[in-house]
């Protein structure tokens, strides 16, 4: 199965109104470039848990809160035989309730994927040498 960050097309990603805020300076960057979303979120949450990871509409989530909810979902998804990508996706949906207004499941997948891609591809994911 392809990771969530590779599911959205450019068109769907362009439609997504995702804002990733509060960039972290080079000295604060905790994760390696290209790391999976879970690794990036975990490392960032450990160093700057109160930093906003993302927002959609009027809802926003910090790295610390997102990490906590991912860990809760990992227990459930493991019991169901699902991988960590399912836990990450569920946690994003859970922590950004304004995503619930999106009626089209493909658009929803595109928005969540765009959010995760921005987290993974942003400057937040580069390690300090």
pLDDT of residue 33: 39
pLDDT of residue 36: 78
pLDDT of residue 81: 92
Q: Give the chain's residues under pLDDT 70.
A: 1-35, 122-129
pLDDT of residue 41: 92
pTM above threshold 0.85? no
Residue 7 to residue 85: CA distance in whole angstroms: 12
pLDDT of residue 126: 57
Query: What domain count does the chain have?
Result: 1
Residue 76: both structure tokens together: 């459930």
In the chain, the largest separation of any two C-alpha atoms, in whole Å, equals 44
Phi-psi category of 57—alpha, beta or left, where left has phi over 0 and alpha has psi -120 to 50? Answer: left
């Amino acid at each position: 199965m392809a990771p969530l960050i590779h599911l959205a097309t450019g068109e769907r990603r362009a439609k997504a109104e995702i804002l990733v805020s509060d960039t972290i300076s080079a000295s604060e960057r905790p994760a390696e470039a290209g790391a999976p979303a879970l690794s990036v979120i975990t490392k960032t949450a450990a160093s700057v848990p109160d930093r906003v990871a993302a927002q959609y509409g009027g809802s926003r989530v910090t790295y610390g809160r997102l990490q906590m909810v991912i860990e809760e979902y990992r227990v459930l998804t493991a019991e169901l035989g699902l991988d960590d990508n399912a836990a990450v996706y569920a946690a994003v949906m859970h922590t950004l309730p304004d995503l619930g207004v999106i009626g089209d499941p493909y658009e929803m997948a595109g928005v969540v994927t765009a959010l995760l891609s921005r987290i993974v591809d942003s400057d937040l994911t580069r390690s300090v040498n």
